[in-house]
Structure 1
Amino acid sequence: MLLPLLHTCPTCPSVLGITLYPPSLLLIAVPTIVYTLALRRLAQRGRPVPTSWVIAFYAGMLSALIALAGPLDTWNDELLTMHMAQHLVLIQVTAPLLLLGRPVQVILRALPPQRAGLVTRLLLRPIWSRRVLEFLTRPLVATGLSILALVVWHFPALYEEAVLRQSVHDLQHVSFFGTALLFWWPIIDPVPRHHRVSGLWASLMVFITAVASTVIGAILTLADEVLYEPYRYAAMPWGFTPLVDQQVAGLLMWIGGGTLYLVIILVLLARWLLREEGRRMASEPAG
């Protein structure tokens, strides 16, 4: 049985599973074009950026395309599993990859010094803006906000509204992605200001978020009834039933998302231990 090409935006055309929803396409196209032009200008000046930045940014934009305009978005009204995958991609893949691409650094480097200084002053000169940014990117605050968004949006009433109304769905995406950027910011430190948390703190942040995510996934997996009403009556492909779909979505969040978080924790801990060992060896007297 073929997946029906339906979406909460019924007037938006769909081509080969790609939903031509203008806001999503603009949010993907505009940053990609600006980043590309910035890279080109830096290359012309003989100031190329690390290849790892470029790969991370374009990989992040590709994941955003798949999540916001690709099959995960086109078919998330029919399968909770697709909807869950969409959110996990935005939170666990797109957000950290884009920050690893250092778009703020790349764009500011590409601007003439006067303009770059003007932009920086406009954004950071006001004391209130600096304090707000510093507060939102504190490890505990950023972690708390990301967990709050995750928990609140999985209440049936709000989740059902997001499935049925495009404006609420857009708000859901903004809150998930925005809090994900805040969460990953102090871990990645995309604009170096010596605010990056230690590997131990970063691991703790990821662990706490992983626990919250896996609890929600477990609830969905182990529930003996369909929790989200719109999926109870959706025309499901592949012989799925609404309850099986919910269980698969829960497992995706529980096992899939949890495994990715575990890998990230191990990487962060390994980097922290290696760094600490390097500092210890550097502090030991020679001979």
Structure 2
Amino acid sequence: MPLRLAALGPRQFALAWVGGLAFAALLTWWLRAGNSASVAFVFVCSVDNVPPPEFPDVFFTVALEPLPVYLLLSAAAAYLLLWLRVRHAGRGRLFPAWRLASFMSGIALVILTVFGPLAAYDRVFLFVHMIQHFILITIAPPLILLGGPMTLLLVAAGPQRRERWIYPITHARWFELFTNPIVGLFLFAAVPILWYITPLFESSFTNDWLHFGGYAVFLFAGIHYWWPVVGGNPTHWNLPHPVRLFYLFALVPIHAFLGSLFYEPSRVLYQQLAAQPRLWGPRPLLDQQIGGAIMFLAGEALGLIATIAAAAAWARADEREAKRHDARLARERARATGG
């Protein structure tokens, strides 16, 4: 079976993808028409037909959007096909099974975060949206990048396709400037701040395109931020260890600011959330404070963990360099003695 998947040509893959897209569109229309379904103990509906939150139903309600889910599954399928093709071509040493598991875990985490249980109530509870924001911008991107998707694409494409289609983009001056870590740091800070302090967040309650587009932007900002510090993908920017340490430590003040933005006010910031019917769960102000605490505590913890990991990597690199230096001196002394 893996060999058959690896041998699947672009035309067959395109036909299968179009067929799946048509099915996802049909399922979207069916759900948007007000229909729902129960699969085992899970209630499946659209975002427009989510019932008021009740315990324990909130943990078994899924607001499914077939088209975005299908696009994410398509990315996972494309990665799997390229991974099998590269392994079949004898380049499996570059892409061990753990890279496949990491990429798939990242995609699965995105799907569960945006469409899984409890996510159906991200327009009711602010703390749910905070958890989604934190996962999409800080947890899922490193998992996806550890899979080395860009390197996999370069290897699977072959020399001719790389020279003709990929290198003209990745070697372009505009691409080098856009992938600058300063841009990634700016996006990591600016995207959530602008999302919450402008009318965008409240507008997303009634605009599905803006709602899911916001999730996509959060994920993109996270991938851009983590790209220079997660190995396995080509980059124009190799950050020195001191710069990398400062770069990762920026997680701490950014999340601290976002946490204080919601925890400190003594009034509800978003009246549309306060107006939502709640048969279960925290009241609007407590919900807002829980969201701020989650962002502050989780952000601080992750920032410190990432900084400690970067410091440990720096120490290991210095140790390796010292060993190389000692070995070089030993060789020079041996040559001098022999002479």
Change (3 A) 1:233 1:54: same
How do 1:201-216 and structure 2 match up within 5 A? 201-216=243-258
The reply on whether 1:265 has 2:307 as its aligned counterpart is yes
Partners of 1:64 and 1:90 within 8 A in 2: yes
3-state DSSP of counterpart to 1:71? coil
Task: Note if contact 1:76-1:83 (Cα within 8 Å) is conserved in structure 2.
Answer: yes
Contact 1:41 1:110 in 2 (8 A): yes
Q: What are the Cα deviations for residues 201-229 of structure 1, in whole angstroms up to 9, with x where unaligned? A: 22212222321121110221121111112
* Aligned-pair identity (%): 25
The answer for the alignment partner of 1:63 in structure 2 is: 109
Deviation at 1:6, TM superposition (A): 7.5
Q: SS in structure 2 opposite 1:235?
A: coil
Q: 1:185 and 1:237 mapped to 2: Cα distance?
A: 42
The normalised TM-score by structure 2 is: 0.75
Determine if the alignment matches structure 1 residue 135 to structure 2 residue 170. Answer: no
TM-score of the superposition, structure 1-length normalised?
0.87
CA RMSD across the alignment: 2.7
Confirm whether residue 44 of structure 1 aligns to residue 82 of structure 2.
Answer: no
Cα pair distance change 1:122/1:281, threshold 3 Å? closer
1:21 to 65, 70, 79: 65
Q: What is the CA-CA distance between 1:279 and the residue it aligns to?
A: 1.0
Secondary structure in structure 2 of the residue aligned to 1:154: helix
Q: 1:164 corresponds to which letter in structure 2?
A: T
How many correspondences in the alignment? 280
Go from structure 1 to structure 2 and tell me whether the alpha carbon gap of 1:11 and 1:239 turns closer, same or farther (over 3 Å shift): closer
SS in 1 for 2:109: helix
The residue correspondences of 1:175-194 to structure 2 (distance < 5 A) are: 175-193=217-235
Contact between 1:217 and 1:251, CA under 8 Å: does it hold in 2?
yes
1:108 to 144, 154, 169: 154
Task: Tell me what 2:12 maps to.
Answer: none
Please state whether the residue corresponding to 2:199 is helix, strand or coil.
helix
Residue 20 of structure 1 deviates from its aligned partner by 2.3
Change (3 A) 1:239 1:10: closer
Match of 1:241 among 248, 273, 283: 283
3-state SS in 2 of match to 1:10: helix
* CA contact 2:261–2:292 (8 Å) conserved in 1: yes
Given the superposition, is the C-alpha separation of residues 191 and 53 from structure 1 closer, same or farther in structure 2, using an over 3 Å criterion?
A: same
Q: How far 1:272 moved relative to its partner? A: 1.1
Aligned counterpart in structure 2 of residue 99 of structure 1, from 142, 145, 168: 145
The answer to whether the aligner puts 1:53 opposite 2:99 as a matched pair is yes
Which residue in the other structure is 1:82 paired with?
A: 128
User: Cα deviation per residue 1:52-93 (whole Å; 9 max; x = unaligned)?
Assistant: 311210110111111222125312012111111111111011
Structure 2 unmatched ranges of 5 or more: 1-41, 52-57, 334-339
- Give the deviation of 1:5 after TM superposition: 7.5
Deviation of 1:122 after TM superposition, in Å, equals 4.5
Deviation at 1:237, TM superposition (A): 5.2
Which one of the candidate residues 324, 328, 338 is aligned to 1:282?
324
What is the distance in 2 between the residues matched to 1:166 and 1:43?
40
Tell me how far apart the structure 1 counterparts of residues 202 and 235 of structure 2 sit (CA, whole Å).
Answer: 41
**Structure with bigger RCO (C-alpha 8 Å, 6+ apart):** 1
Q: Could you tell me which amino acid in structure 1 is paired with residue 282 of structure 2?
A: F
Q: Does 1:164 align with 2:197?
A: no
* Higher alpha-carbon Rg: 2
Query: Deviation of residue 175 (structure 1)?
Result: 2.1
Residues 1:194 and 1:277: Cα distance change in structure 2 (over 3 Å): farther
Shift of 1:123: 2.5
- Give the unaligned 5+ runs of structure 1: none
